[in-house]
Structure 1
Amino acid sequence: MAQLSREVEDFLMYFILMERVPVGTRTVEPGRLCCMSEESYLHSVTGDQTPAQSLSVTVIEENLMIDVDVNVLQPLSQRQAALLLAIHNPTERLSCFLERGLLEQAVQAEVGQRVLVEHEQKLFPALIHHVGNILDSATLLPPVYLGVELEGEGEGRGNMDGSYKGMTFFKCKKNSGLLLPFNKVIFSGAPPPDDAGATYLQTGSVNPGDKVSFFVEDSIKRGIVVFSSNQAATGFVEVLPEEAPSSELLKVPLDSIVKNDIPTPDLHSPVHDGKCASKEEQEKVLYKERGLEVDSLVQIQYQEGELAFGIIRWLGYLPQKEDVMVGVELEEDKGCTDGIWCGQRYFFCPPRRGIFVKLKACQPDTRFLSSRDGSPKSLESPKHIFVSGTEDGRRVPGKVPPLQGAAAVDILEGDMKGIQGHCNSCYMDAALFSLFSCSSVLDSLLFKPSSHPDGKIQQTLREEIVNPLRRNGFVSADSVMTLRCQLMEESQCPSFTTSEKDPEEFLNLIMHRILGADPLLKLQSEGQRVQESYCYQIFIEKQQEMMAPNVQQLLEQSFHHSRLKLAEVPSCFIIQMPRFGKEYKMFSKIVPSLELDVTDLLSDSPRECVVCGNLATHECAECFKDVILSDHGLKQYCLVCSKQVHSHHKRKDHKPVPLKIPDGFRKTPNKIPREKLELFAVLSIETSHYVSFVKYGTEKGSWMFFDSMADRFGSENGYNIPRVTLCPEVATYLAAPLTDLINQNPREMKGVAKRLFCDAYMYMYQSKRMALYK
């Protein structure tokens, strides 16, 4: 970039590459940053001439000039570009750009701001001391780093005191400083530094048995949390004060509470007559009970020779009970309560599903433990296939990009890979694997600040499911059960932890009610207001001539049948097939459309005349089924062609309607852009069991198949073995002539192809371009 001087830096336009760009015998990776002068940019995209379809840009890190299609460039501000440049891995950089929320927070970062930072695979509180470059100021667009000082447990675990390469950027305690790219920093929800052993609470972070301090009329009181089930919704928690009688509880606002550190943070501090157990007692309990805690999966010797399985919902002391007690929600109706003991509620569960027992009566659920009697090593315990170095063994904080290409195969393929199924969870397992394993289109849901008060569900989804899946290739059943338990409490639906449900029910709940996400679809019907939804159900009348329709045909048929249009291009388009219940299917085979062209489905977008290819001005619904004019359903014409087509006696009664055309296309005969979405995943169902197909790369054969319950180790007390296999045979059938596919006997289809073509339930499409704005 020697040709670009420092004097013109403020007059440069910055971009990020969204796709690979071939340059001679090599390619420039997506995620690389580029720039060009503002003058050249304006000359290319404005003026009397037709706007350029490509731009000549300089790849900042390689000092390389290339010509790039404008559609694969996304503009950046100088500040955004400098922050992104500090992330050296282009794939990781692109993922951070696609998230957008974190980048926007980083742009606003200021000295003196308190944050959390990811360091040594843990999160530590920190204070920002420096926001800027650490290179020679003469360098064009030096990357911007954040200089932070680690606090609390992180103190002394840094690598500097604020000086770097002989230059001092800030001052802090010895070995407590770090220089980090913004993607190693969490800007929201960071607590103040530790003070006298107390950690300030974040919403939803307090649990029964926690020792806390709180303020009452300007004085500090201490006590034990007794009940906190609905804390996120109410903003209050019930506390048993140390100096009050055991039956007298106080309702204290969350923002008035600090949680005191205890020596054994993996076990909620037990309570007995309002006093904490000693450190020695806690360590003894922790040792004896093998680390069991709230949300652990356990088994109980229910009757002689009979085991009962469940989840610990509460842990602590009960009145008149000397031992540490737990409240367990059982998988079956073998209990005697719904979470109430002696008139006091300690947790929620369905009637006859709850039971209170001694903690020492509980054992870890052996269905999720490795066998010690000769079972294959490949079938290790889900409880022990954890990411090393994480805070609690299964949680992976921060951001992990989706898997693509060879990396997806290396990390995901094999037994005990994917998401482990348990107790009718396949609908959730398949949906989560489809959405997040190899796509980032909905990653904004994982980081977007939500107005919903309960951030625990978002954190569980991000750090216990999506991140471990992408980094380690495996998510244990207990992590999914944690999410199901949280959804059960939030939705007040007790069957969320035990019963089979539909994927759309789960997606609607978690996107709409839990994360408060904007609807994925905006649909416009004739004379009606815009309708919003997260999934779209195909509704059509069956036609005998459609033996094996593709998704494009079904979508156009459905939109025509319902008189619908898209109000905007969706970033993620989730489409349910015309099948009802678990048995009835309208079509025996459906062909996946690898690309979904939604240009003609948009309510306010330029479209091509189906006859001559010029700008269309009218649309005719009555011509929809006329295959003579075009092999696809939707028909629109320019004014000349419309008159000619409707001069035929069979079409004289048709009533074409005018199309809305953007002003720029009326004045200039531009090439009509096509809006296309790419298929990234398919959910299928057969005999009440959901599985997933995922497109993990750009090659035609880059398909993988996931089944969360592909195999099983042991019988009733065993556990499910999830499996991810490659299925390149899918590409073979996609490339076959349609007549061959129609005549193909499903039972004779190779591999798992039959389950894709014959049992598809839900197709998932993405627009990476539109995902940038969501």
Structure 2
Amino acid sequence: MEQERDTDDFLMYFILMEKVPVGNRTMEPGKLCYMSEESYLQRVSGDHNPTQSLNVHFLEEGAMVEVDVNVLHPLMRRQAALLLAITNPTERLSCFLERGLLDQAVKAEVGQRVLVEHEHKLYPAFIHYVGNFLDSSALLPPIYFGVELEGEGEGRGKIDGTYRGVTFFKCKQNSGLLLPFNKVIFSGAAPSDSLGSPSVQTRALNPVNQGDKVSFFVDDKLKRGLVIFNKMADGYVEVLPEDSTSSTLMKIPLDSIVKEEITSGRAPGAASMFREQKSPNDGKLKEELLARNLEVDSLVQIQYKEGEMAYGIIRWLGYLPQIEDAMAGVELEEDKGCTDGCWQGRRYFCCGPKRGIFVKLKACQPDTRFLASKDCEPKSLEVEGHNREEGYRIPGKVPPLTGSSAVDILQGDMKGIQGHCNSCYMDAALFSLFSCSSALDSLLFKPASHPDKEIQRTLREEIVNPLRKIGYVSADSVMMLRHQLMQESQCPSFTTSEKDPEEFLNLITQRILRADPLLKLQSRDQGVQECYCYQIFIEKQQEMTVPNVQQLLEQSFHHSHLKLAEVPSCFIIQMPRFGKDYKMFSKIVPSLELDVTDLLLDNPRECIVCGQLAVYECSDCFKDDLLSQQGLKQYCALCCQQAHSHRKRKHHMPLPLRIPDSFLQSQGTGKIPRETLELFAVLCIETSHYVSFVKYGVEKGSWMFFDSMADRYGSENGYNIPRVSLCPEVATYLASPLKDLVNQNPREMKGVAKRLFCDAYMYMYQSKRMALYK
């Protein structure tokens, strides 16, 4: 008996190739539609003339439209489901026209290794899941790929395989993503590795791999060495000579080397086993480590190539097969390496691709840049009772700086937090949150257990307290915190790579210090959601050329159907920009005061017409500026009736507001209280570098600007100079009429004001009243 077919097996899917007018709107190219197989056959068969149009249903709109058959291209069901995961029709059509990527996506399956595009970078990944994660009851559920980021991408994801309470797969914490197929590269091989290519032919003729021992002649003298870089596609390898006392590599042509085989009478692998069983704490290695003042996690520099220095962190110490000398596995600051921590197929440590290198321990020297940052700082930074060897550990509770004391302690060079090794995201975030605000001080003193207690102590006594008391935090104090975060998060790149500020804040508040969520958001569909930062999502509107933060927040809450379940003590808001390159608005005006009264759930609100107690809210009136310029609109019963008697608003559906009984009993129709938050810091980004603006006093001009890498002392052996400068010019532009800001050329703005208005990444607001309850 023939197996019964599913209902949607009888459906035919199409992608729209050209615009189609439908009444007063247009169906854009890239839209997906369908019709039943039976209707299609009836339409194209029969005695009448061949059909010129088809009655199709559009998947996303649900509308049935008669469409010219020539602008429709048929799709297999799986193709349509994959394309449906791409929400932008233009991008969807472009991906369809490429076809090669779509064909690969159709064949992709769980267990496949891929590359994924995330945060404008490519990361290696592993497919754990292929399918839908939204509404499985939909006629055509879109297909996504659930992947686990690996290597440098580890820890840079969003989930651990669970989304909205449903587990689709399991992976490491914050290493999973659910992506449409256009964010995935399914072919792991580069074009040059195709069959018959020079690189493949070279490997076949001369199979030399990383870690192999080789012999070669230099000036008629036979030498031996170890292959470090495999450049066979270019006709050579880079070798570390056995007699070398540094880490300088030699470039040797392939036709000049001979691979050495193990000719010892021992059983295969015996030498390897003997070497690997040696402990990193054996006598010889221990003596060398003590002599060089090095250990795992030490910052080192290596004479990489002639005239070139490389810097990194020791991740592993010990012995490698077939090598007599003690070796170090180093994670480099830049992509100058040849491994991700593996040697001859075995993993010794983890790092990003091309970030790792194995060198002789005797070739490693302490990073002189880092030493200089401690030895060459001005004498004025010496604090009684705190010498440099011990670091600036200041116990107790030190209040945040305000007014003239903030200027006296913080202003100048070698002030703020010293930058080092891609730390600017953390430096700017810490300075913003703690220099002049106590919004998150509860994190510093809440009960914690080991090892969280040690991270909390480092944050409090070696970063926040020194910043507030002496106005300076050295790079080694921040590096200590980064080491601790690296160990707790199990993310090996935390001490070398740049991260996103929100990633750092979520890690330290949620996963480590386990603080209560800063925000409680009430969603129309999902109930209360808790989070620590809020990302603004809106559709760009032509009339909003230079918006302020208040407008953007109201637009975003309206767009996402959100309300605040309670007044937050600290409200951290990310601007509508994507990565470090694309930003939705060329300028954004900081709102010094953020009024959240109308964003609160179950909170008394004013009628926008008469000012009395509002009892209705109308979401449909949001963009109607005839009655009021503000976005959110609520009315008393009488004004609501009058406003919606207009023919343009008769179809609106106002919803009743819930008014707290306590307010009705105590005040009734009295004055409606306003709930406001004050801006205390803005974190900005320009060309991958984060800086900070901080409001340090009540006066309009009380603004200071912080850059952890504002200047540098010396060249490669020097150190970064952090700087805090006053920027009262910011107040001048904040007081300017909007039309002047719209026409203002950013390059002509005085001082650093341009960076505040044009490069804002994250705004930080506080409610001092609510902070008393935290």
Tell me the TM-score normalised to structure 1 length: 0.58
CA distance in 1, matches of 2:473, 2:385: 10
CA distance in 2, matches of 1:630, 1:551: 18
Correspondence for 1:575? 573
For structure 1, the 5+ residue unaligned runs are 1-245, 250-269
Correspondence for 1:109? none
Question: 1:339/1:482 Cα in 2 relative to 1: closer, same or farther (>3 Å)?
Answer: farther
The amino acid that maps onto 2:506 is N
Question: 1:464/1:646 Cα in 2 relative to 1: closer, same or farther (>3 Å)?
Answer: same
Question: 1:761/1:741 Cα in 2 relative to 1: closer, same or farther (>3 Å)?
Answer: same
CA distance in 1, matches of 2:609, 2:653: 18
Correspondence for 2:356? 353
Residue 311 of structure 2 corresponds to residue 309 of structure 1: yes
CA distance in 1, matches of 2:771, 2:556: 25
Question: 1:321/1:464 Cα in 2 relative to 1: closer, same or farther (>3 Å)?
Answer: farther
CA distance in 2, matches of 1:350, 1:628: 56
Question: 1:399/1:605 Cα in 2 relative to 1: closer, same or farther (>3 Å)?
Answer: same
Question: 1:320/1:561 Cα in 2 relative to 1: closer, same or farther (>3 Å)?
Answer: closer
Residue 363 of structure 2 corresponds to residue 365 of structure 1: no
- Shift in Å, 1:463: 2.3
CA distance in 2, matches of 1:335, 1:509: 28
* Contact in 1 for aligned 2:580/2:688 (Cα 8 Å): yes
Residue from 511, 514, 517 that aligns with 1:513: 511
Correspondence for 1:17? none
Matches within 5 A, 1:265-304: 295-301=297-303
CA distance in 1, matches of 2:347, 2:455: 23
- Shift in Å, 1:699: 0.9
Q: Deviations over 1:266-292 (max 9, x none)?
A: xxxx95569x99xxx99xx97x75x76
- Shift in Å, 1:550: 0.9
Matches within 5 A, 1:433-444: 433-444=431-442
* Contact in 2 for aligned 1:273/1:319 (Cα 8 Å): no
* Contact in 2 for aligned 1:523/1:565 (Cα 8 Å): yes
CA distance in 2, matches of 1:643, 1:427: 51
Question: 1:632/1:498 Cα in 2 relative to 1: closer, same or farther (>3 Å)?
Answer: same
- Shift in Å, 1:707: 1.1
Correspondence for 2:190? none
Q: Deviations over 1:687-741 (max 9, x none)?
A: 2221110001111111001111212223334322211110000011111222222
Question: 1:480/1:671 Cα in 2 relative to 1: closer, same or farther (>3 Å)?
Answer: same
Question: 1:710/1:518 Cα in 2 relative to 1: closer, same or farther (>3 Å)?
Answer: same
Question: 1:361/1:622 Cα in 2 relative to 1: closer, same or farther (>3 Å)?
Answer: closer
The amino acid that maps onto 2:753 is A
The amino acid that maps onto 1:735 is A
Q: What is the aligned length? A: 496
CA distance in 1, matches of 2:512, 2:615: 43
* Contact in 1 for aligned 2:325/2:360 (Cα 8 Å): no
* Contact in 2 for aligned 1:329/1:355 (Cα 8 Å): no
- Shift in Å, 1:456: 2.8
CA distance in 2, matches of 1:318, 1:729: 60
Q: Deviations over 1:568-598 (max 9, x none)?
A: 1111111111122222222221111101010
Question: 1:560/1:633 Cα in 2 relative to 1: closer, same or farther (>3 Å)?
Answer: same
Correspondence for 1:658? 656
Question: 1:349/1:579 Cα in 2 relative to 1: closer, same or farther (>3 Å)?
Answer: closer
Residue 443 of structure 2 corresponds to residue 445 of structure 1: yes
* Contact in 1 for aligned 2:455/2:484 (Cα 8 Å): yes
Correspondence for 1:737? 737
Q: Deviations over 1:414-460 (max 9, x none)?
A: 11111122222221211111111111111111221236754332222
Question: 1:364/1:584 Cα in 2 relative to 1: closer, same or farther (>3 Å)?
Answer: closer
Question: 1:379/1:700 Cα in 2 relative to 1: closer, same or farther (>3 Å)?
Answer: same
Residue 689 of structure 2 corresponds to residue 689 of structure 1: yes
CA distance in 1, matches of 2:655, 2:449: 42
CA distance in 1, matches of 2:321, 2:460: 38
The amino acid that maps onto 2:532 is Y
Correspondence for 1:263? none
Correspondence for 1:255? none
Correspondence for 2:679? 679
Correspondence for 1:609? 607
CA distance in 1, matches of 2:464, 2:569: 20
Residue from 466, 469, 474 that aligns with 2:467: 469
Question: 1:660/1:579 Cα in 2 relative to 1: closer, same or farther (>3 Å)?
Answer: same
- 1:545 match: secondary structure: coil
Residue from 584, 587, 593 that aligns with 1:595: 593
For structure 2, the 5+ residue unaligned runs are 1-275
CA distance in 2, matches of 1:300, 1:587: 44
Question: 1:317/1:515 Cα in 2 relative to 1: closer, same or farther (>3 Å)?
Answer: farther
Identical pairs, percent: 75
Q: Deviations over 1:6-63 (max 9, x none)?
A: xxxxxxxxxxxxxxxxxxxxxxxxxxxxxxxxxxxxxxxxxxxxxxxxxxxxxxxxxx
* Contact in 2 for aligned 1:645/1:651 (Cα 8 Å): yes
* Contact in 2 for aligned 1:330/1:355 (Cα 8 Å): no
* Contact in 2 for aligned 1:421/1:477 (Cα 8 Å): yes
Correspondence for 1:765? 765
Question: 1:711/1:664 Cα in 2 relative to 1: closer, same or farther (>3 Å)?
Answer: same
Correspondence for 2:412? 414
Q: More deviation in 707-716 or 571-580?
A: 707-716
CA distance in 2, matches of 1:466, 1:354: 35
- 2:692 match: secondary structure: strand
Question: 1:488/1:370 Cα in 2 relative to 1: closer, same or farther (>3 Å)?
Answer: closer
Q: More deviation in 649-658 or 454-463?
A: 454-463
* Contact in 2 for aligned 1:426/1:709 (Cα 8 Å): yes
The amino acid that maps onto 2:466 is P
Tell me the TM-score normalised to structure 2 length: 0.58
* Contact in 2 for aligned 1:567/1:602 (Cα 8 Å): yes
- Shift in Å, 1:391: 8.0
* Contact in 1 for aligned 2:391/2:477 (Cα 8 Å): no
CA distance in 1, matches of 2:379, 2:320: 36
CA distance in 1, matches of 2:647, 2:607: 21
Correspondence for 1:727? 727
CA distance in 1, matches of 2:350, 2:580: 31
CA distance in 1, matches of 2:700, 2:383: 32
Question: 1:721/1:599 Cα in 2 relative to 1: closer, same or farther (>3 Å)?
Answer: same
Question: 1:470/1:341 Cα in 2 relative to 1: closer, same or farther (>3 Å)?
Answer: farther
The amino acid that maps onto 1:715 is S
Question: 1:296/1:499 Cα in 2 relative to 1: closer, same or farther (>3 Å)?
Answer: closer
Question: 1:498/1:293 Cα in 2 relative to 1: closer, same or farther (>3 Å)?
Answer: closer
* Contact in 2 for aligned 1:300/1:309 (Cα 8 Å): yes
Matches within 5 A, 1:250-265: none
The amino acid that maps onto 1:707 is D
Matches within 5 A, 1:315-714: 329-332=331-334, 353=356, 362-366=365-369, 368-369=371-372, 388=386, 392-450=390-448, 453-667=451-665, 668-669=667-668, 670-714=670-714
The amino acid that maps onto 1:493 is C
- 1:497 match: secondary structure: coil
Matches within 5 A, 1:135-146: none
- Shift in Å, 1:407: 1.3
CA distance in 1, matches of 2:653, 2:402: 48
- Shift in Å, 1:493: 2.6
CA distance in 1, matches of 2:640, 2:509: 43
Q: Deviations over 1:749-769 (max 9, x none)?
A: 110111111111111101112
CA distance in 1, matches of 2:465, 2:532: 23
- 1:494 match: secondary structure: coil
